[in-house]
Amino acid sequence: MTDPGIDTGIDTAAVQAAREAVAAGGRRLVDEGLVTGTAGNVSVRVGDLVAISPSSVPYAEVGPEDVCLVHPDGSPAEGSTSRRPSTETGLHLSVYAATDAGAVVHHHGLRSVAVSTVVDVLPPLHYYAVRLGGAPRVAPYHRYGTPELARAVTEALADRSAALMQNHGAVTHGATLDDAFERAHLLEWLCELYVTATALGRPRVLTDDELAEVVASRYGGPTA
């Protein structure tokens, strides 16, 4: 069954599930220490629409009915809320246009912000980096909400599922919102590892050949 309020013919249940996931995802950002206040945003692709966090609304107050629905060009879809979508909607849409991602998480974790100010690429100190497609790149700084930032982040994500944003934060994507959150936490862990190791001295960085060997071994779990 479809909802006549949604102008794309997408199943009502799929749209509702996406909006519920985004509302819950916003609370996860805060509960899991990935943002403070109303910073950051999450989105889920549902057919030809994207469900995304509303702008400047405390996450604890966001219900499914507050989650925005937009077309790939950023225009609001029928049946969307009257709230304004996130200022980073253009960034999310750019990532969806360039990848097969099903969900995107943009967060301001302390470690990722700190590391983004001192490196151009997060050095791969641990083979977990291959779970993100390789060493995460740092997108050059541009003001939040700008097309320039969206382009820079999308370029940094080429062949990767995570990127740092200089003096800003980070973006991860995955097939599902759970995947994107898992990668956000993995990125924070890799950043914390870098901060800890560099405080002790000059860390050894894995070589391209060593990382390629991990990929060839079909590594796929966090316990190896």
Contact 38, 58 (CB under 8 A): yes
Say how many C-beta atoms besides its own lie within 10 A of residue 78's C-beta: 12
Report yes or no: 147 and 90 within 8 Å, Cβ to Cβ: yes
Tell me whether strands 162-165 and 103-107 are parallel, antiparallel or unpaired.
unpaired
Q: Which one of the listed residues 88, 148, 155, 188 is annotated catalytic?
A: 88
Based on the residue annotation, tell me whether 182 is a catalytic residue of this protein.
Answer: no
Q: How far is Cα 74 from Cα 96, in angstroms, rounded to an integer?
A: 12
- Helix or strand run (H / E) with residue 151: helix 147-156
Give DSSP secondary structure letters for 79-125: T--SSPBPTTHHHHHHHHHHS--SEEEEE--HHHHHHHTT-SB----
Question: What is the helix (H) or strand (E) element at residue 31, kind and residue range?
Answer: helix 12-31
Smallest CA-to-CA distance from 191 within 138, 149, 140 is with 138
Residue with tokens 């960085």: 205
Enumerate the active-site residues: 88
